[in-house]
């Protein structure tokens, strides 16, 4: 069930950025639907700002990567850092619906052993309910 949806304006200073982020709330889990590329620059800044603002309220985050076609080293570092921040607050950051290219990148960097990766956002959200506090 969706409680609330918030869309990020993907335009900054009149230039179209290569990443847009839409926030959906399901219970106490925040789902970030990312569209585009998670790369060094404004793209990572948008995602960083969104996650930092969410972590103050809930450390349970799902990043839906279905619309992401590329992640660079800055993007991987950003996701890993936010995973640590969420865990330090008693929560978790889960990845959902990575495409073939992103899934292969996670495998090659062994980050698929660090992140909980799910085939669909609903599976990732449901997994929060199965965790023992």
pLDDT the model gives residue 18: 84
Nearest Cα residue to 131 out of 93, 80, 97, 103: 93
DSSP 17: P
Token readout for 99 is 């495409």
Residue 72 has pLDDT above 80, yes or no: yes
3-state secondary structure of 88: helix
Domains located in the chain, CATH noted: 64-119 (3.30.750.24)
CA distance readout (Å), 32 to 13, 35, 87, 119:
23, 10, 17, 15
* CA–CA gap between residue 126 and residue 80 (Å, rounded): 22
Residue 92 has pLDDT above 50, yes or no: yes
């Amino acid at each position: 069930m969706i409680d609330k949806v918030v869309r990020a304006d993907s335009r900054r200073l009149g230039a179209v950025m290569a990443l847009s982020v839409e926030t959906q709330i399901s219970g106490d889990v925040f789902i970030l639907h990312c569209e585009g590329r998670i790369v060094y620059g404004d793209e990572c800044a948008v995602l960083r700002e969104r996650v930092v603002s969410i972590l103050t309220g809930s450390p349970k985050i799902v990043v839906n990567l279905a619309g992401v076609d590329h992640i660079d080293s800055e993007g991987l570092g950003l996701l890993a850092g936010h995973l640590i921040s969420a865990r330090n607050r008693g929560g978790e950051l889960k990845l959902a619906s990575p495409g073939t290219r992103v899934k292969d990148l996670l495998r090659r960097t062994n980050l698929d052993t660090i992140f909980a990766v799910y085939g669909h956002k609903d599976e990732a959200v449901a997994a929060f309910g199965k965790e023992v506090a």
